[in-house]
Amino acid sequence: MSHFFHEIATPRVSFNEGFKAFFNAGTFASSLILLVGVFVPDTLKAIGNLKPFLLFAGVAGGAYSLRALLLG
């Protein structure tokens, strides 16, 4: 029983490491949503001529966060 409570009380990763992973995962998901949204016709009407900037932001954010997630 004490082993069970010890396992619960002992964190596996530090708060800082967990926050980094959470932030990178959120950035990656947001970048994917941004990239998918650029190709939806209703979204293209709403954003007008910002498509190249949003494509660049989506690719850059995805590349940054994917690299960070894979390398730790």
- The C-alpha R_g of the chain, in whole angstroms, comes to 18
Contact by Cβ (8 Å): 8, 35:
no
Residue 10 covered by a domain = no
- Which pLDDT does position 53 carry in this prediction? 84
Contact by Cβ (8 Å): 41, 10:
no
Residue 12 covered by a domain = no
Contact by Cβ (8 Å): 28, 62:
yes
- Which pLDDT does position 72 carry in this prediction? 67
Q: What is the extent of the structural domain holding 40? A: 19-71
pLDDT tens for the chain, 72 residues long, are 566 666 666 667 677 777 888 888 888 888 888 888 888 888 777 777 788 888 888 888 888 888 887 886
The two structure tokens encoding residue 29: 């998901």
Residue 50 covered by a domain = yes
Residue 43 covered by a domain = yes
CB atoms inside a 10 Å sphere around CB 62: 18
Q: What is the pTM of this model?
A: 0.65
Residue 28 covered by a domain = yes
- Which pLDDT does position 7 carry in this prediction? 62
- Which pLDDT does position 11 carry in this prediction? 64
